[in-house]
Copies of this chain bind each other. A is one copy, B any other.
Amino acid sequence: MGKNLRLKSARAARDLSQQDLADAIGVTRQTINAIESGNYNPSINLCIAICKVLGQTLDQVFWEDNGDA
């Protein structure tokens, strides 16, 4: 599976480490890392929680890739 670069990018834009984001949501760092790495199928509630912290929507972070940026 492909990496989730939009998540990585949105997180970086807010200057949050994987640990920071994980803490804000209440999951472990490994979970965030795995999602960004792409070998993962997170729950929708987790995705929504991530989006809220990052100020994005599901489509922006988890919907199909547009190909580029």
What interface size band does chain A fall in?
A: 10 to 19
Please tell me how many copies of the chain the complex holds: 2
A43 in the interface (beta carbon within 8 A): yes
Interface residues of A in 33-69 (CB under 8 A from B): 41-45, 47-48, 57-59, 62-64
A57–B63 touching, CB < 8 Å:
yes
CB A8 to nearest CB in B, in angstroms, measures 16
CB A38 to nearest CB in B, in angstroms, measures 12
In the complex formed, the residue of B with least CB distance to A64 is: B48
Partner of A43, one of B42, B48, B59: B42
A57 to B64, CA, bound (A): 9
Partner of A45, one of B41, B48, B64: B41
